[in-house]
């Protein structure tokens, strides 16, 4: 597919950033990365690229390397005959990231320069409001706008009830129930897939992300595997992140199913997703109220009156503690770096 930079989402913001780079080069957008080799979309067509030795040497974090969705500048004119060499990454307008899974305290960037995050959950045994809250928090934190997409509506007899359940925790966020089998509701998502816009799909395995991709690509580009009947858990059909150009305009980033979404930052996300609790907290008698046993706690009063659920408060507290632990680990890591005990990371 022949594209121009505008099709890829290029705007005056990127143009101004590009003009500040003193080295000459060609612009491309990262479509995928595997083992340090990047697939780029450029005006001259798709090319493969690697980072320059200088970028490799100066990178201190994995986030200093190009990620899917990034605008990058190559050191020389791009040709399809050999690898281009990436020397610069333009400033990111939005960054969807999470904490690296496991015990490593490092940010893993999922996608950048995203306009919309489709939070995808199946209306089968996969449905979980608490998981939706967590994904919404990460989506808000990215700087993009979240949209909840409830798939497999053909398998649910209580679609309206499920939508109401989600709207209670997704205040102000659009919620759509769709089916890739009957095609019901899919046309309503076209609003978010206009030319030059980028949407990332976020959800666990088996929720139907690959089916959505195939629908909007108008051809089977992703393998679809059935979820297990006993618990609706799927297997990974997407093994790496990839930015796809949709035939009707817009771009979509497919991601592997997320089993573990650990929070890297949550300062803005908590305020957006749990705006009701944040507002109530401001009404508590004590500024450092833990909402446990303190007198004059507005949060406890809301629970007692039935206007706030215990499970919502528990999920809020859980994610707040998780974020605070991660922040403390980051501070310890910074102290180690100051003492020269930090090891430079590689991009793969």
- 120 CB burial (10 A radius; 0-12, 13-18, 19+): buried
Q: Give the 3-state secondary structure of 45-82.
A: CCEEEEECHHHHHHCCCHHHCCCCCCEEEECCCCCCCC
Report for 62-76, 143-157, 214-228, 245-259: range of highest mean pLDDT: 143-157
Q: What is the mean pLDDT of residues 2-6?
A: 85
Average model confidence (pLDDT) across the chain = 83
Predicted local distance difference test score (pLDDT) of residue 344: 45
340 to 106, 331, 334, 337: CA distances (angstroms): 17, 14, 10, 5
- What is the dotted CATH code of the domain comprising 95-254? 3.40.50.300
Residue 163 is encoded by which pair of tokens?
């939508």
What pLDDT score does 327 carry? 67
pLDDT at 101: 56
Share of the chain above pLDDT 90, in %: 45
The whole-number pLDDT of residue 219 equals: 86
C-beta separation of 257 from 207 below 8 A:
yes
Give the model's confidence band at 263: pLDDT under 50 very low, under 70 low, under 90 confident, else very high. low
Q: Against a cut of 0.85, is the pTM above it? A: no
The topology under which CATH files domain 267-338 is Ribonucleotide Reductase Protein R1; domain 1 (1.10.40)
pLDDT in tens, 246-261: 998 899 998 875 655 5
How would CATH label the architecture of 12-89?
Beta Barrel (2.40)
Neighbours of 107 (CB within 10 A): 18
Residue 79 backbone phi and psi in degrees, to 5 = -130, 160
Residue spans of the domains in the chain: they are 12-89, 95-254, 267-338
> What is the pLDDT at residue 40?
96
CA–CA distance, 65 with 58 (Å, rounded to integer): 10
Q: State percent of the chain over pLDDT 70.
A: 78
Question: pLDDT grade, residue 176 (50/70/90)?
Answer: very high
Provide φ and ψ at 15, rounded to 5°. -60, -45
Enter the tokens of residue 242.
């990839």
Cβ-proximal residues to 110 (8 Å cutoff; 6+ apart), any chain: 67, 68, 96, 97, 98, 200, 202, 241, 255
């Amino acid at each position: 597919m022949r594209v121009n930079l505008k099709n890829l989402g290029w705007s005056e913001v990127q143009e101004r950033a590009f003009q500040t780079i003193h080295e000459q080069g060609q612009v491309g957008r990262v479509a995928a990365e595997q083992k340090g080799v990047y697939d780029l979309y450029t005006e001259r067509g798709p090319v493969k690229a690697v980072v320059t030795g200088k970028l490799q040497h100066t990178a201190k974090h994995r986030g200093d390397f190009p990620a899917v969705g990034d605008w990058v500048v190559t050191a020389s004119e791009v040709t399809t005959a050999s690898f281009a060499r990436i020397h610069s990454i333009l400033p990111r307008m939005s960054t969807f990231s999470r904490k690296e899974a496991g015990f490593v305290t490092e940010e893993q960037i999922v996608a950048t320069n995203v306009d919309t995050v489709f939070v995808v959950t199946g209306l089968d045994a996969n449905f979980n409001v608490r998981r939706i809250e967590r994904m919404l928090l990460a989506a808000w934190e990215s700087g993009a706008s979240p949209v909840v997409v409830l798939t497999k509506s053909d398998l649910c007899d209580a679609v309206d009830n499920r939508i109401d359940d989600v709207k209670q925790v997704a205040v102000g966020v659009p919620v759509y129930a769709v089916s890739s089998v009957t095609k019901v509701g899919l046309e309503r998502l076209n609003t978010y897939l206009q030319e030059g816009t980028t949407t990332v799909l976020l959800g666990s395995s088996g929720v139907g992300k690959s089916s959505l991709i195939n629908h909007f690509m108008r051809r089977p580009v992703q393998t679809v595997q059935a979820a297990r009947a006993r618990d609706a858990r799927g297997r990974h059909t997407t093994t790496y992140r990839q930015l796809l150009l949709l035939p009707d305009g817009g771009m979509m980033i497919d991601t592997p199913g997320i089993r573990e979404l650990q929070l890297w930052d949550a300062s803005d996300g908590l305020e957006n997703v749990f705006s009701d609790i944040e507002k109530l907290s401001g009404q508590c008698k004590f500024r450092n109220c833990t909402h446990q046993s303190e007198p004059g706690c507005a949060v406890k009063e809301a629970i007692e009156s039935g206007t706030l659920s215990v499970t919502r408060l528990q999920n809020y507290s859980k994610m707040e503690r998780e974020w605070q632990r991660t922040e403390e680990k980051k501070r310890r890591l910074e102290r180690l770096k100051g003492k020269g005990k930090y090891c430079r990371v590689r991009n793969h």
